[in-house]
């Protein structure tokens, strides 16, 4: 199917493997036996390192993947008859196969539009004040994604404004940090600045997309919400018996700084790709490239040609849209090949 043996994967940052810094700690953690269920010598170290990085005495938990991280956290932030306000493009709404509803036993997601994939205070308030009767699930949580599903970023000011709206209506604030590292790097802010300092109650920080094999960290800055949360993880099949194989790679990312340099690299690659693509005849930016994703509109024939040449990327039905995601190990060589193929494809289209 592919003309050469280099994979042409730009569909998601989860097609990349384990980065060297994570792997080194994984191998190290495998040098000797250790206690199970997080009582090992790695888990507490990793949790402490998160507390240092965020400069906050938060509660830290490790789970296997993003569906679980977001769903468990949202379940802890409300009850089944509450609702969660999110953007209509939020991953929890569009790509979790009902995961948040399953883990919460029925909490409804209320979706709001918003330019560039971002919630606005007004959009949130419209959902909160729309109704106040018992037949409408009471809004209790706002969930926002940073960077968003369309590769854009909330500024600190935008986050503060959302927090103010949350306070006005007694809502909790959840951040889906599937690409949190990319956001920190792109905004050039610290993890603290981007979370508790702007009033985030809980963050789901993805390790998988940041260079690990699997594993996400959940950080509760509002510790009232994490009471007995370890039991919740256990019951829901998210307590790893050999937890050190999640904790140690995290420690590798944190101690080496790779959590951020990986993200910086991915962001830079996306910038490189955007610069190479946008401006080609027939290619238009769908969203500003602010983190590690590039969204462009293309002629359908060009999409078909790229797929024929073995490129994997997400397309948007009926819209002629394409998403390319860069990762910690994306190379300019790969992107140059794509840009060249794109030129060919466009000239044929």
Contact between 237 and its own copies per CB under 8 A: yes
Strands 202-206 and 172-177: parallel
CB 238 within 8 A of CB 64: yes
| Residue 30 CB, nearest approach to its own copies (Å) | 4
| Window of 78-86, 146-154, 271-279, 337-345 that interacts with its own copies by CB under 8 A | 78-86
Q: Which of 44, 302, 85, 109 is closest to 172 using CA atoms?
A: 85
Beta bridge partners of 111: 86
Closer CB to its own copies, residue 11 or residue 268?
Answer: 11
Exactly one of 44, 48, 95, 336 binds its own copies (CB under 8 A); which one?
Answer: 95
Exactly one of 230, 268, 278, 339 binds its own copies (CB under 8 A); which one?
Answer: 230
Closer CB to its own copies, residue 62 or residue 287?
Answer: 62
Exactly one of 58, 77, 90, 107 binds its own copies (CB under 8 A); which one?
Answer: 107
CB 174 within 8 A of CB 180: no
Contact between 135 and its own copies per CB under 8 A: yes
CB 256 within 8 A of CB 319: no
Number of residues that this document lists for the chain: 349
SS3 180: helix
Contact between 64 and its own copies per CB under 8 A: yes
Exactly one of 2, 37, 164, 257 binds its own copies (CB under 8 A); which one?
Answer: 37
Closer CB to its own copies, residue 163 or residue 244?
Answer: 244
| Residue 190 CB, nearest approach to its own copies (Å) | 27
Exactly one of 46, 47, 68, 181 binds its own copies (CB under 8 A); which one?
Answer: 68
Q: Which of residues 2-31 bind its own copies (CB under 8 A)?
A: 7, 9, 11-12, 14-18, 23, 26, 29-31
Residue-wise burial string across 289-303, b where 16 or more C-beta atoms lie within 10 A, e elsewhere: bbbbbbbbbbbeebb
Residue 232, both tokens: 């919740």
Contact between 241 and its own copies per CB under 8 A: yes
Q: Which of residues 287-346 bind its own copies (CB under 8 A)?
A: 312, 317, 329
| Residue 188 CB, nearest approach to its own copies (Å) | 28
3-class secondary structure per residue, 3-51:
CCCCCCECCCHHHCCCCHHHHHHHHHHCCCCCCCCCCCCCHHHHHHHHH
Q: Which of residues 197-216 bind its own copies (CB under 8 A)?
A: 208, 213-214
| Residue 15 CB, nearest approach to its own copies (Å) | 5
Closer CB to its own copies, residue 141 or residue 198?
Answer: 141
Contact between 33 and its own copies per CB under 8 A: yes
The whole-angstrom separation of Cα 141 and Cα 75 is 10
Q: How many helices (H) and strands (E) does the chain have?
A: 14, 11
**Alpha carbon of 212 to those of 82, 267, 280, 327: distances in Å?**
33, 17, 35, 12
Report which secondary-structure segment, H or E, holds 345. helix 332-348
Contact between 222 and its own copies per CB under 8 A: no
20 CB-near residues (< 8 Å, 6+ apart) = 258
Contact between 242 and its own copies per CB under 8 A: yes
**What φ, ψ does residue 305 adopt, rounded to 5°?**
-65, -40
Closer CB to its own copies, residue 23 or residue 285?
Answer: 23
Q: Which of residues 42-61 bind its own copies (CB under 8 A)?
A: none
Closer CB to its own copies, residue 54 or residue 62?
Answer: 62
Beta bridge partners of 203: 175, 219
Closer CB to its own copies, residue 230 or residue 349?
Answer: 230
The whole-angstrom separation of Cα 174 and Cα 208 is 19
């Amino acid at each position: 199917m592919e003309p050469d043996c280099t994979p042409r994967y730009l569909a998601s940052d989860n097609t990349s493997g384990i980065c060297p810094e994570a792997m080194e700690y994984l191998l190290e953690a495998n040098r000797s036996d250790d206690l199970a269920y997080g009582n090992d010598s790695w888990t507490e170290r990793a949790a402490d390192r998160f507390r240092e990085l965020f400069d906050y005495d938060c509660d830290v938990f490790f789970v296997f993947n993003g569906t679980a991280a977001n769903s468990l956290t949202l379940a802890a932030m409300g009850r089944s008859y509450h609702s969660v306000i999110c953007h209509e493009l939020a991953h929890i709404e569009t790509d979790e196969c009902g995961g948040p509803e399953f883990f919460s036993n029925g909490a409804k997601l209320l979706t709001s539009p918003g330019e560039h994939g971002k919630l606005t205070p007004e959009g949130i308030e419209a959902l909160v004040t729309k109704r106040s009767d018992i037949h409408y699930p009471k809004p209790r949580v706002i969930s926002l994604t940073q960077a968003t599903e369309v590769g854009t970023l909330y500024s600190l000011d935008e986050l503060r404004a959302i927090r103010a709206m949350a306070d006005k209506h007694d809502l909790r604030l959840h951040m889906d940090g599937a690409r949190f590292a990319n956001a920190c790097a792109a905004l050039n802010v610290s993890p603290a600045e981007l979370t508790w300092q702007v009033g985030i109650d809980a963050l789901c920080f993805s390790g998988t997309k940041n260079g690990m094999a699997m594993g996400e960290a959940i950080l509760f800055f509002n510790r009232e919400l994490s009471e007995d949360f370890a039991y919740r993880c256990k019951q829901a099949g998210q307590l790893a018996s050999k937890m050190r194989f999640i904790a140690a790679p995290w420690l590798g990312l944190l101690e080496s700084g790779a959590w951020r340099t990986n993200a910086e690299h991915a962001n830079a690659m996306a910038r490189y790709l955007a610069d190479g693509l946008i401006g080609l005849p027939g290619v238009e930016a769908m969203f500003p490239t602010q983190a590690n994703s590039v969204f462009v509109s293309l002629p359908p024939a060009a999409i078909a040609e790229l797929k024929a040449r073995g490129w994997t990327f997400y397309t948007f039905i009926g819209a002629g849209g394409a998403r390319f995601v860069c990762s910690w190990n994306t190379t300019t060589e790969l992107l140059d090949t794509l840009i060249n193929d794109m030129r060919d494809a466009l000239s044929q289209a």
